[in-house]
Amino acid sequence: MPEPLLVLDGIVKRYDDHTAVHRLDLDIAAGEFIALMGPSGCGKTTTLRMIAGLETPSEGEIRLRGRRMNEVKPWERDTPLVWQSLALFPFMSVLKNVEFGLKMRDVVGPERTRRAMSWLERLGIAKYRDRKIDQLSGGERQRVALARALVTEPEILLLDEPLSALDAHLVIRMQAELKQLQQQLGITFCYVTHSQSEAFAMADRVAIMAEGRLQQVGPPREVYRAPANRFVAEFVGANNILSGRIVSLAKGLAAVDTPFGTLQAKADQACQAGDPVAVVVSADRVTVSDGKAEGENALAGTVISEEFVGAFVTLHVDIGEDKSFRAQLQQHALEPLGAVRGKRLTLRWKPEHTVILKNK
C-alpha cells in the first residue's frame, strides 16, 4: 500500500516538565476529511501546530508524502492554517488578503489577481473584493480566510476551530459548505474542534484525544455507537453509563449485575464472568413508557427535567442511587406520556443496543 499523505509517527511534544502530546501515531490519507476532537487542553491544537510547523516535535517524525517535515519552516510547507480568529489583515481589502499568500510566493500581479478572483468567485464573495475586513459579516470573513488559504492550492488544509465564533445558524450552513468544498476539491482537511456536531457532520474519520493521547480513531458512526473506552463513551453522544460486574455469559450476551438489577448486554469484547465492566446505553436507543418495569433491561424512574433541542427532547430521569438516566425522544412520541417533572416512567432498551466496556 502507498504511504498516506501525512504521517505522524510517535509524535511527542514537551514544554519544560509538561508533556502536551504523548507518542501520537496517526496516518491521514490524501483527500480525507479528518477531525481532531477533545476537551480543552487535550493536545489537539498543539498537534495541528506541529503539522503546520509552528511547533517542533520533541520526539517522533512528521512526514508529508514521505518527506520528513520536522525542521521545515512553516512558510516552506504546503500546509496553510485557517485560524480560529481567522487572522485576516484589517488594513487590506478582501482581494489583497486573498492575494497575500501568492505574493509571498512571488506570483506576478496579473496572475495573482486572476487566481485570487477565481477563488472569491467560487466562494461567492467576489462582489466584496474591494471591501475592508471590518465591513464583512462573520460568514463572509470565514469565506475570505478560506479563499486566502486555498488560493495556493495546497494538498492539505489545517483548520483550528474555524466556526467557533459564528452564530449557530451560520455554523450549520458553513458545515455543509465546507464539506461540499472539500469533496469538490479533493483536498485533505485536518480540522480541530471540541464540537461533536461539527466533527460528526463533516469528517470521514474522527480522532478523539484526551490528556495528549489518542483514545479512538474511526468513522463517526463507529465512534458514536462503539466507544473504545469510558472516556470516549462519556465525551461522545449522550451515553448512559452504569457500573457492574459480569455474572454469566451465554449466546453472545452477558448478564451484568448492577445496583439497578441484572442487565443484558452484547459481549463483544473479550470478557468473562467476574469482570468489572461499564454498561453503555445511548440515550437515543432508550424507549419510554408509563407501564411497569418488567422484563429485560427495564428501569423505573422519576422525571427530573426535559431538555428541548428542536423536534427532539432529552428526558433526565432519576433511577435511584443518585443516578440520572437520559432518554432522547421525538417530541410527538413524548407528548402522550405527559412526562412532567415527578412523573414515574419506565425506560427500556435492547441488549443488542448495549455496549460493554471492561474496566481497566
Looking at residue 179, the DSSP 8-state letter turns out to be: H
pLDDT recorded at residue 292: 79
pLDDT recorded at residue 293: 72
Looking at residue 76, the DSSP 8-state letter turns out to be: G
Sign of the Cα pseudo-torsion (46, 49, 55, 60, in order): positive
As given in the structure block, the three cell numbers for residue 253 are 450476551
Task: Work out the widest C-alpha separation in the chain, in whole angstroms.
Answer: 77
Q: Rounded to two decimals, what is the model's pTM?
A: 0.86
pLDDT digits (tens, 9 = 90+) for 85-109: 778 888 899 999 999 888 888 888 8
Rounded to whole angstroms, the Cα distance separating 266 from 253 reads 5
Query: Nearest-CA neighbor of 92 among 115, 111, 116, 114?
Result: 116
pLDDT recorded at residue 325: 95
- φ/ψ bin of 199: left (φ > 0), alpha (ψ from -120 to 50), beta (otherwise): alpha
Sign of the Cα pseudo-torsion (123, 128, 131, 137, in order): negative
**Domains present along the chain, CATH in parentheses:** 6-225 (3.40.50.300), 238-358 (2.40.50.100)
Rounded to whole angstroms, the Cα distance separating 207 from 194 reads 11
pLDDT recorded at residue 317: 94
Stretches where the chain sits below pLDDT 50 are none
As given in the structure block, the three cell numbers for residue 216 are 479512538
pLDDT digits (tens, 9 = 90+) for 255-314: 999 999 999 998 876 788 999 999 999 999 999 988 777 778 999 999 999 988 777 899
CA-to-CA separations, 8 to 39, 61, 217, in angstroms, rounded: 21, 6, 14
pLDDT recorded at residue 172: 81
Helices (H), 123-191: 138-150, 168-185
Q: 202 and 36 in contact (C-beta within 8 Å)? A: no
Rounded to whole angstroms, the Cα distance separating 263 from 245 reads 10
Q: Rounded to 10 degrees, what is the CA torsion of 95, 100, 103, 105?
A: -140
Rounded to whole angstroms, the Cα distance separating 323 from 347 reads 14
Rounded to whole angstroms, the Cα distance separating 155 from 264 reads 48
pLDDT recorded at residue 2: 62
